[in-house]
Amino acid sequence: MNVRRFTSESYPDGERRAAWRGVLAALGLSADAPSAGWGSHATAILRGTGEGITVGRLVAERQILSPMVRPAAVPFVGVPLILIPLDEGANLDVGGERRPVRAGQIALLPRHGGAPVPIFDGGRTLVLSAGDEAFRGRRIGTASKILPRVMAAEGLAGVLAGSLASAAEALDALSDPEWEAVAAGLAELLLALLRGSAAAADESAGATSAATAGQAALLHRVHQSIERRLDDPDFTPGRAAEALGISERYLHRLFEGTGDSFAHTVRERRLLRSRLDLSNPAEAHQTVSEIAFRCGFTDAAHFSRAFRDRFGLSPRAFRQGEIERTKEAASPGVQRGWPQDSAVQTRVRRPETRRGPSAPQVPAIDAGTAPRHHHLAVAADRVHWGFFSRALKPVLEVASGDTITVETLSQHASDDPALMIAGDPGAEEVFRWTRDGKAVDRRGAGPLDASVYGRGAGEGFGVHICTGPIAVRGAEPGDVLEVRILDMAPRPSRAPGVAGRVFGSSAAAWWGYHYGELLSEPKPREVVTIYEIDVGAEQPHARALHSFRWTPQTDPSGVVHRTYDYPGVPVDPGSVVRRHGVLDGIRVPLRPHFGVIGVAPRENDLVDSVPPSYFGGNLDNWRLGKGASVFLPVSVPGALLSIGDPHAAQGDGELSGTAIECSMTGTIAVVLHKRAELDGRPFAGLTYPLIETPTDWVLTGFSHPNYLAEFGAKGQSAVYATSSLDLAMKDAFRKARRFLMQAGGLDEDEAVALISAAVDFGVTQVVDGNWGVHAILSKRLLPSPRVPIEPERHERCGFT
Partner 1 sequence: MRHHTLPVSPATVHWGYFSKAVAPALTLRSGDRATIETLTHHAGDDYERMIAGDPGAESVFRWTAEHKAVARRGAGPTEGPFLRGSGEGLGVHLLTGPVAIEGAEPGDILEVRILDVRPRPSCSACHAGRCFGSNAAASWGFHFGDHVEEPKGREVITIFELDTAGEPFARAVYNYVWTPQTDPDGILHPTIDYPGVVVDHAKVRERHGILKDVRVPARLHFGTMGLAPSESDFVSSIPPSYTGGNIDDWRIGKGARMYYPVAVDGAFFSVGDPHAAQGDSELGGTAIETSLTGDFEFVLHKKRDLGGTALEGLTHPMLETDDRWSVYGFTFPNYLAELGPDAQTAVASHASLDKAMRDAFRKLRRFLMTVHGLSEDEAIALLSVAADFGVTQVVDANWGVHGSIRKSVFTCTGA
Of 769-788, binders to partner 1 (CB under 8 A) are 773, 778, 780-783
Q: Can you tell me the distance from the alpha carbon of 406 to that of 797, in angstroms, rounded to the nearest whole number?
A: 10
Q: For the CB of residue 716, give the shortest distance to partner 1 in the complex, in Å.
A: 22
Residue of 404, 649, 708, 743 interacting with partner 1 (CB under 8 A): 649
In the complex with partner 1, the residue whose CB is nearer, 485 or 725, is 725
The amino acid present at 414, given as its one-letter code, is S
Distances 125 to 84, 86, 187, 637 between C-alpha atoms, Å: 6, 6, 18, 61
- Is residue 764 within 8 A of residue 620, CB to CB? The reply is yes
- Count how many residues are written for the chain: 800
Residues between 25 and 84 with contacts to partner 1, criterion CB under 8 A: 40-41, 43, 59, 61
Q: Which is nearer to partner 1, 455 or 647 (CB)?
A: 647
Contacts of partner 1 in 663-702 (CB under 8 A): none
Q: Which of 752, 791, 756 is nearest to 373 (CA)?
A: 791
- Stretch touching partner 1 by CB under 8 A, among 277-285, 484-492, 515-523, 688-696: 515-523
By CB under 8 A, is residue 13 in contact with partner 1? Answer: yes
Among 26, 69, 452, 583, contact with partner 1 (rule: CB under 8 A): 583
In the complex, the smallest distance separating the C-beta of residue 457 from partner 1, rounded to whole angstroms, is 28
Of 350, 227, 238, 241, nearest to 296 by C-alpha is 227
The only residue of 77, 147, 452, 518 in contact with partner 1, by rule CB under 8 A? 518
The residue range among 321-329, 383-391, 564-572, 731-739 that interacts with partner 1, by the rule CB under 8 A, is 731-739
From 27, 470, 544, 597, residue interacting with partner 1 (rule: CB under 8 A): 544
Minimum distance from CB of 758 to partner 1 (Å)? 5
What is the rounded distance in angstroms from the CA atom of residue 108 to the CA atom of residue 67?
Answer: 10
Q: How far apart are CA 501 and CA 293, in angstroms?
A: 66
d(CA 180, CA 160): 16
Q: Are the C-beta atoms of 510 and 525 separated by less than 8 Å?
A: no
- CA-to-CA distance for 306 and 313, rounded, in angstroms? 10
Structure letter (DSSP) for residue 730:
H
Q: Which residue type occupies 293?
A: F
500: exposed, middle or buried (Cβ count in 10 Å: 0-12, 13-18, 19+):
exposed
**Least distance from C-beta 647 to partner 1, angstroms?**
9
Q: Which residues contact 76 (CB under 8 A, 6 or more apart)?
A: 70, 111, 112, 113, 132
Residue 244 interacts with partner 1 (CB under 8 A): yes or no? no
Stretch that binds partner 1, among 4-12, 309-317, 471-479, 633-641 (CB under 8 A): 4-12
Residues 589-628 that bind partner 1 (CB under 8 A): 589
Q: Which string of x and - marks every residue 173-212 that binds partner 1 (by CB under 8 A)? A: ----------------------------------------
Q: CB of 756: closest distance to partner 1 in angstroms?
A: 4
Angle between helices 248-256 and 213-228 (to 10 degrees): 110
Determine phi and psi for 613, rounding to 5 degrees.
Answer: -160, -160
Instruction: Give the helix/strand (H/E) hosting 404.
Output: strand 403-408
Helix (H), strand (E) at residue 102: none
| Interface with partner 1, residue 716, by CB under 8 A | no
Of 227, 205, 206, 220, the closest CA to residue 254 belongs to 220
Q: Are 800 and 493 in contact (CB under 8 A)?
A: no
Q: Of the candidates 54, 163, 279, 656, which one interacts with partner 1 according to CB under 8 A?
A: 656
747 in contact with partner 1 (CB under 8 A): yes
Q: Which of 97, 366, 679, 749 binds partner 1 (CB under 8 A)?
A: 749
Kind of pairing between the strands at 396-398 and 387-388: unpaired
Only segment of 221-229, 258-266, 594-602, 750-758 that touches partner 1 (CB under 8 A): 750-758
Stretch that binds partner 1, among 142-150, 294-302, 350-358, 752-760 (CB under 8 A): 752-760
Please pick, from the candidates 286, 314, 724, 784, the single residue that binds partner 1 as defined by CB under 8 A.
724
From 198-206, 241-249, 276-284, 523-531, give the range in contact with partner 1 by CB under 8 A: 523-531
Judged by CB under 8 A, the stretch of 176-184, 234-242, 244-252, 655-663 that binds partner 1 is: 655-663
**Among residues 213, 560, 758, 789, which is the contact residue for partner 1, using CB under 8 A?**
758
Among 63, 389, 411, 529, contact with partner 1 (rule: CB under 8 A): 529
Residue with smaller CB distance to partner 1, 43 or 557? 43
Cα-based angle 322, 386, 599 (whole degrees, multiple of 5): 135
CB 489 within 8 Å of CB 665: yes
Number of residues that bind partner 1 (CB under 8 A): 87
| Interacting residue with partner 1 among 32, 87, 154, 178 (CB under 8 A) | 87
Provide, rounded to whole angstroms, the least separation between the CB of residue 414 and partner 1.
18
Residue 725 interacting with partner 1 (CB under 8 A):
yes
Q: Degrees (nearest 5) of the Cα angle 641, 699, 340?
A: 65
Among 300, 365, 684, 752, binds partner 1 (CB under 8 A): 752
Of the candidates 327, 730, 779, 794, which one interacts with partner 1 according to CB under 8 A?
730
Contact flags string 88-127 toward partner 1, x per CB under 8 A? x----------------------------------xx---
Interacting residue with partner 1 among 48, 715, 761, 770 (CB under 8 A): 761
Residue 122, strand partner residues = 63
C-beta of residue 471 within 8 angstroms of C-beta of residue 642: no
Q: What is the DSSP letter of 569?
A: P
Shortest Cβ distance from residue 649 to partner 1 (Å)?
Answer: 5
Question: Which of 360/516 has CB closer to partner 1?
Answer: 516
Of 742, 708, 677, the residue nearest 480 (C-alpha): 677
Q: Report the alpha-carbon distance of residue 781 to residue 759 in Å, rounded.
A: 9
Q: Which is nearer to partner 1, 403 or 506 (CB)?
A: 506
Query: Of the candidates 1, 10, 131, 381, which one interacts with partner 1 according to CB under 8 A?
Result: 10
Asked if 12 is part of the footprint of partner 1 (rule: CB under 8 A), the reply reads yes
Between strands 373-376 and 403-408, the pairing is parallel
Please work out, in degrees rounded to the nearest 5, the angle formed at the alpha carbon of residue 388 by the alpha carbons of 386 and 392: 115
Note whether 461 and 445 are within 8 A (CB): yes
> How far is 698 from 620, CA to CA, in rounded Å?
13
Collapsing DSSP to helix, strand or coil, 132 comes out as: helix
In the chain the first and final C-alpha atoms are separated, in Å, by 50
Distance CA 735, CA 761 (A): 12
Tell me whether residue 246 or residue 518 sits nearer to partner 1 (CB atom): 518
Number of neighbouring beta carbons within 10 Å of residue 72: 10
Binding flag, residue 542, partner 1 (CB under 8 A): yes
Report d(CA 551, CA 750) in Å as an integer: 56
Q: Which is nearer to partner 1, 452 or 655 (by Cβ)?
A: 655
Minimum distance, C-beta of residue 737 to partner 1, in the bound complex (Å): 7
- CA gap 33, 616 in Å, rounded: 56
Minimum CB–partner distance for residue 724 and partner 1 (Å):
6
Mark residues 495-514: x for contact with partner 1 by CB under 8 A, - for none: -----------x-x---xxx
Contact with partner 1 (CB under 8 A): which of 142, 658, 663, 706? Answer: 658
Q: Residue from 50, 360, 371, 762 that binds partner 1 (CB under 8 A)?
A: 762
- Is residue 660 near partner 1 by the rule CB under 8 A? yes
Closest distance of CB 505 from partner 1, Å? 11
